[in-house]
Amino acid sequence: MQPKISIRRHLLRLIRNRFILLGLSGLCLILGIWLIDIGIILQKASQGPVDAFLVLGGSITREIYVAELAKQYPQTPIIISGGSKDPCILLIFRRANAPMQNVLLEKCAKTTFGNFYFSQPILSQWQVHKVKLITSLTHLPRAKWLAQIILGSHGIWVEPDIVKEQGIPGNRESFLLTAWGLTRSLSWAVISQFYSPKCSELTKLTEVNLKAWQSQGFTVKRQCERQANLQEIL
């Protein structure tokens, strides 16, 4: 009896291993086809015009920069992810006399990974194929790599636009931050094909109520970066 049981177990093990191998081969085939498809889509998107501007928080200089871009491209939608206080951004656009109707403030993101975690569903909803990524040199290469992985997995080509800083931005790079961000992004690139997060803290710039903020204690001097020189507006 013992030899028969051993043979049966051996056969079951072989069948199980065969199914596992077939399953892994199938997954690799699907992944390969998906990557080829994404590559073709990205190649095409790279040749097209910029559909949106994505500003990463960490420095008010980036918001000053995108306000000037908004004047040149008034129809291009803008996401400012994890940026300065809403009234600070409002005053920047007012001073620049820049259009505000296409500017969306996203306040859910607290990390670089979060910037793309929450912005990707919005960009996809807008049917964006090519986005200009506005950040600083101190935020590279992490911001660029994370954007290319997460946004790229949804067929969005990323074009970095590096803003020259006057001070020291809030984003600083390290090997651990970059490694952790890449690990999360690679996983999320797959998961996000089936699940789309929603940010509950989205505000149109045109809906920012400066008087309401002031009634709650907002002051430019205390809550806007000094290098923006916004005191002169109020």
Q: Which residue has the higher pLDDT, 51 or 166?
A: 51
pLDDT band, very low/low/confident/very high, at 215 (cuts 50, 70, 90): very high
Strands 157-163 vs 202-204: parallel, antiparallel or unpaired: unpaired
Cα 210 from Cα 114, distance rounded (Å): 27
Q: What pLDDT, on a 0 to 100 scale, did the predictor assign at position 3?
A: 62
Q: Cα torsion for 86, 89, 91, 92, to the nearest 10°?
A: 180
| Mean pLDDT confidence for 118-134 | 98
Question: Three-state SS for 147?
Answer: helix
CATH of the domain at 53: 3.40.50.620
> CB count, 10 Å around CB of 173?
16
Residue 70 and residue 77 in contact, taking contact as beta carbons nearer than 8 Å: no
pLDDT at 1 over 60: no
- Is 21 a member of any domain? no
135 found inside a domain? yes
Residues 102/75, Cβ–Cβ less than 8 Å: yes
Tell me the pLDDT tens digit for each residue of 58-81: 899 999 999 999 999 999 999 999
Apex CA 57: angle with CA 51 and CA 62, to 5°?
65
What is the number of structural domains in the chain?
1
Q: Is 208 inside any structural domain? A: yes
Across the range 36-48, mean pLDDT stands at 86
Q: Does pLDDT of 97 surpass 60?
A: yes
Distance, CA of 119 to CA of 141 (rounded, Å): 19
Asked if residue 195 has pLDDT above 90, the reply is yes
Q: What is the pTM of this model?
A: 0.85
Averaged pLDDT, 208-231: 91
Task: Tell me whether residue 32 is in a domain.
Answer: no
pLDDT of 114 strictly over 90: yes
For residues 69-79, one letter each, b for 16 or more C-beta atoms within 10 angstroms of the residue's C-beta and e for the rest, the string is bbeebeebbbb
pLDDT of residue 27: 67
In a domain, 132, yes or no: yes
pLDDT, position 12: 74
Q: Report strand pairing: 103-106 vs 202-204.
A: antiparallel
Q: Can you give the C-alpha Rg of the chain in angstroms?
A: 23
Euclidean distance between CA atoms 174 and 167, whole angstroms: 19
Q: Which structural domain range is residue 189 located in?
A: 49-233
3-class secondary-structure state, position 135: strand
Please write the tens of the pLDDT for every residue from 138-173. 888 899 999 999 999 999 999 999 998 876 665 667
